[in-house]
A and B are shown apart, each in its own frame.
Chain A
Amino acid sequence: MELKSIKDAFDRVANKQKLSYSKTNEIVQMLSQEIEKALSIIQNSPSSPDTLLDHRSVLADVKKMFVEVAPVNQLEVAEKELNAALTKYPKVLEKQLNPDISKAYRHNVDFDTHIVNQIIANFFYRQGMFDIGDCFIAETGESECSTKRSFMEMYRILEAMKNRDLKPALKWAVSNSDKLKQARSDLELRLHSLHFLEIAQGQNSQEAINYARKNIAIFADSSLPEIQKLVCSLLWNNNLQKSPYSEFLSPALWNNAVKELTRQYCNLLGESSESPLSITVTAGTQTLPVLLKYMNVMANKKLDWQNIEQLPVAVELSEEFQFHSVFVCPVSKEQSSDDNPPMMMSCGHVLCKQTINKMSKNGSKSSFKCPYCPTDVDISRCRQLHF
């Protein structure tokens, strides 16, 4: 795609529009000048019996001049050029962009507006756009979102963190300590560390040490190295910038804590850490180009797009949308399933069970050659994997 050619084509339109405007302006000016001139000649000529002739000759001159200048023709010429640019631009857009992204849409699938509205409202709330969410709910007549209150609480905590007030965050983390541990999150320690650093920054080493003894020491089992660093930084707390621990001043520490808190908070609510709507729409943005290209290639072939059970084309979403392990047998190209699980051969290469069955002629051969290395594979030593 060439954004530049789009820009150029638009510049041409805007340019011709300006030219057309100045042409029109010029002509209107000219008309009014000539008419005013004629008017003043007629008004200033002495009134006498032959003035009838007089003012007619003045008018005849103006008329003659207008015929010669042909203002309407001039306007038409300007319009013609402008029109050419106006017709060209949409063509450029159609060529450079996808003119109809609904080509990859299944028209026989009707989304339940009620569900879509709930999803949208939920999106507004979890982005902290509470006013818009309320407005949306009022306009669509949907029922109140159950998650609104929880998200309001989360934004209260995050807002406080923005102002470097850790109290609400700590309170939440401590009361959910067990659940956080279960989720393998070190959020609680991170928050305590930030608080410790805040106290230390205030030059109050004694208080910092007390705080560490009371709140941080209990994490020694899992995070001793981190704690050692933290406490050692006290030795430089009058000039942390030039110390081995300058990392403790990084704003990234706070940003990451905010991110982790959001993630854990949402997870405990049973929600994803990113808004599911934005995940889906972003995934859609990555998917549509592939589907559209496919539709274009297949335009002449009969494809029952409305009724297929699996997308006809593979879409490589970015890593962050990979939520599950998918094993595709490199030989049969089939996705593994409960009936056809992945099996590892003695050499470490993995195929799916059906492929291994075929290669061993359904077990009639006790060994076969791995398609990926020279190993002779003993069937009895193949074992099922669980990803």
Chain B
Amino acid sequence: MEIDPVTNGNADAIMTESAPTITPPTTTPVPSSRLSQLTESLKLEHQLLRVPFEHYKKTIRTNHRFFEKEVSSVVSGVGDLADSDWSRDDTVARLSSLVSRLQGLKRKLEEGSNVENLQAQRCRARIDHLESADVENLTEWNNTKLKRILDLVDIDIFREAKKVIDALKNREVASALTWCADNKTRLKKSKSKFEFQLRLQEFIELVRAESYNQAILYGRKHVAPWGATHMKELQHVVATLAFKSTTECTKYKGLFELRQWDVLVHQFKQEFCKLYGMTMEPLLNIYLQAGLSALKTPYGFEEGCTKEDPLSQESFRKLALPLPYSKQHHSKLVCYISKELMDTENPPQVLPNGYVYSTKALKEMAEKNEGKVTCPRTGLVCNYTDLVKAYIS
């Protein structure tokens, strides 16, 4: 990759030495081949593969836990039966119920495996989709990608999140707590304190309602266990018992603010995205930001900017306004007439008035006009033979 060299030896030398030695012309960069560009762009697709996988993994884990528990309880059921003095009829009845329980288990196993297989297929389809991208169909692939970004392919997962978010907005923690319980091991592994924060909020709500006894009971049961790791925060919040919800004490006023619920929503979003390997920001915004910066030039904001530039549109200009401009290391000249790139194949030619156009466009014009060319921007007419080539390194 190219990183802007902070100092450029050659250039510095030329700028300071009075008689510069001839420096070799800087080689124009080989435009990163389309193939490596494609490979690089595929690397952006982590989320596309990760999200359905996390879904799949969750299903596998849940199923497995369930079957392990069931098998274990059937085995110990037989053991208990063998160690007890039940009559023959009772034994028969109990064994029969175990048999039908196993029957149900077989059915559930079948169902569970079907779900797992479907999710595995989805993961695999995504990998195949990445594999299907090649240089030939890149335009088409990019179009699909855009639709994918707009469509939110993993919408079912977002539904799960929305339920919790809506509940939190209604100041209910129950569904968020259920979500925490469902993902207990993983949250623990990432040292998440989201559940602790939910508990604290519930505690604060009890204090707000002036149910102090209840608050203390609740605190003992749900808040105290976090003391080992989060003592300082715990003390801070539990001390609310000494304050009224209308307190003016700045340290405690904040805790009673309803805005705290929005903080919880934000935290949930963060935890949720982390769990599924998703970015917090909408993918579209991430791509738009990067693209707008790379396209942002001072020319885009000028009047008469070509309509082909997205920055010629008011809406795109507004979005791009706070973003950095693009940076170019090498000259890239576009012919004003033909909009084609001017390079060694189609070199730039200079009119006597200093205006530059591509050889191809000027030649075409001269052929139609008995060797004369007209400058489209100034109206100057001159002979094709009056043109001189410019060398851009």
Contacts and interface: CB of A to CB of B under 8 A. Distances in A.
A325 B78 contact: no
A381 to B, nearest CB: 12
B109 A21 contact: yes
Contacts of A252: none
Contact of A21 (B8, B113, B336): B113
Nearest to B30: A316
B98 A35 contact: yes
Contacts of A75: 64, 67-68, 71
Contacts of B99: 32, 35-36, 39
A335 B2 CA distance: 17
A63 B79 contact: yes
Chain B residues touching A, range: 35 or more
Nearest to B361: A184
Query: In the complex, which of the residues A72, A119, A325, A333 has the most CB atoms of chain B within 10 Å of its own CB atom?
Result: A325
Contact of A383 (B74, B75, B330, B354): B354
B3 interface: yes
Interface string A113-127: 001101110010000
Given A25-B109, A79-B68, A374-B22, A321 B142 contact: no
Interface residues of A, number: 138
A2 to B, nearest CB: 10
Nearest to A309: B324
Contacts, number: 409
A14 B123 CA distance: 10
Contact of B71 (A27, A290, A308, A373): A27
A330 interface: yes
A327 B348 CA distance: 12
Given A56-B82, A284-B287, A311-B327, A7 B127 contact: yes
Nearest to A328: B331
Query: In the complex, which of the residues B315, B328, B342 has the most CB atoms of chain A within 10 Å of its own CB atom?
Result: B328
A145 B309 CA distance: 20
Contact of B286 (A105, A116, A371): A105
B354 A281 contact: no
A372 B356 contact: no
B40 interface: yes
Interface string A1-30: 101001100100110010011001101110
B307 A344 contact: no
A38 B94 CA distance: 12
A219 interface: no
A244 interface: no
B127 A10 contact: yes
B26 to A, nearest CB: 5
Contacts of B392: 327, 350
B341 A39 contact: no
Interface of A: 1, 3, 6-7, 10, 13-14, 17, 20-21, 24-25, 27-29, 31-32, 35-36, 38-39, 42-43, 47, 51-52, 55-56, 59-60, 62-63, 66-67, 71-72, 75-76, 79, 82, 86, 89-90, 93-94, 96-102, 104-107, 109, 111-112, 115-116, 118-120, 123, 184, 222, 266-267, 270-274, 276-291, 293-294, 297, 308-319, 321-328, 330-333, 335, 337, 344, 347-350, 355, 358-359, 361, 369, 371-374, 383-387
29 contacts: A21-B109, A24-B67, A24-B71, A39-B96, A42-B95, A52-B88, A60-B82, A63-B79, A98-B46, A99-B50, A115-B318, A116-B288, A270-B307, A282-B291, A283-B290, A283-B294, A284-B292, A285-B41, A286-B37, A290-B2, A316-B2, A319-B31, A326-B332, A326-B333, A327-B392, A330-B26, A369-B20, A369-B22, A372-B22
Interface of B: 1-4, 8, 11, 14-15, 18-20, 22-23, 25-26, 29, 31-32, 34, 37, 39-47, 49-50, 53-54, 56-57, 60-61, 64, 67-68, 71-72, 74-75, 78-79, 81-83, 85, 87-88, 91-92, 95-96, 98-99, 102-103, 105-106, 109, 113, 116, 120, 123-124, 127, 130-131, 142-143, 145-146, 149-150, 277, 279-281, 283-295, 297-300, 305-310, 312-313, 315-316, 318-319, 322-334, 336-337, 341-342, 348, 350, 353-356, 368, 377, 388-393
